[in-house]
């Protein structure tokens, strides 16, 4: 990677990489959970408060699961 004159390169610590991996994985997991569970919940017939509760729970579970796996992957790469 070329160094641009006049800029400073920062060393990224392993902990920062792990938290960045968890954050990226959490966002991807929540998005996929919203899309997949949203369609399934509509087909199942959930509406209103039931839909929001079910969707929110599955989004956090999907985000947490995928975030942990991404954090482990980033930790292995350190």
Q: What is the pLDDT of residues 11-70, one digit of tens each?
A: 889 999 999 999 999 999 999 999 999 999 989 988 899 999 999 999 999 999 999 999
6 in a structural domain: no
40 in a structural domain: yes
Domain that holds residue 52: 14-77
58 in a structural domain: yes
What pLDDT does 12 receive?
83
pLDDT tier for residue 78 given thresholds of 50, 70 and 90: confident
Total number of domains constituting the chain: 1
The stretch 1-8 carries a mean pLDDT of 62
For the chain, give the secondary structure using H, E and C. CCCCCCCCCCCCCHHHHHHHHHHHHHHHHHHHHHHHHHHHHHHHCCCCHHHHHHHHHHHHHHHHHHHHHHHHHHHHHC
36 in a structural domain: yes
8 in a structural domain: no
């Amino acid at each position: 990677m070329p160094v641009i004159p006049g800029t400073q390169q920062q060393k990224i610590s392993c902990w920062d990489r792990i938290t960045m991996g968890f954050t990226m994985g959490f966002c991807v997991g929540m998005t996929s959970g919203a899309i997949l569970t949203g369609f399934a919940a509509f087909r199942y017939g959930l509406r209103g408060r039931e839909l929001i509760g079910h969707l929110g729970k599955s989004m956090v579970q999907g985000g947490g699961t995928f975030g942990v796996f991404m954090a482990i992957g980033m930790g292995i790469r350190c």
